Amino acid sequence: MVEPKLALFKVKIESGFVHTSEFNRHMYMPGDALYPDYPGGFYYRFGDHVYHDGSRCEGLMAAYRLAC
């Protein structure tokens, strides 16, 4: 019974890393931000105004918690 639980846990961890990677791809960095206050903010399409999405930040935190 332990092996199925371990396999499910590994799938959840891998899913967390995939989602975190995708979130980070849609985040303005200091080198590509349109305005000085944009780094760390998210966008849907590059060039959009920054979206401070709580849901995206919650997703990052959930991925972090799964990984620890």
Mean pLDDT of the chain: 81
Give the CA distances from residue 61 to residues 28, 36, 57, in Å, rounded to whole numbers and listed in that order. Answer: 18, 25, 6
Largest Cα–Cα distance in the chain?
Answer: 53
For residue range 26-38, list pLDDT tens digits in order.
Answer: 888 889 989 988 8
| Backbone conformation region of residue 64, classed left if phi is above 0, alpha if psi is from -120 to 50, else beta | alpha
Q: Does residue 66 have a pLDDT over 80?
A: no
Tell me what the mean pLDDT of segment 36-43 comes to. Answer: 85
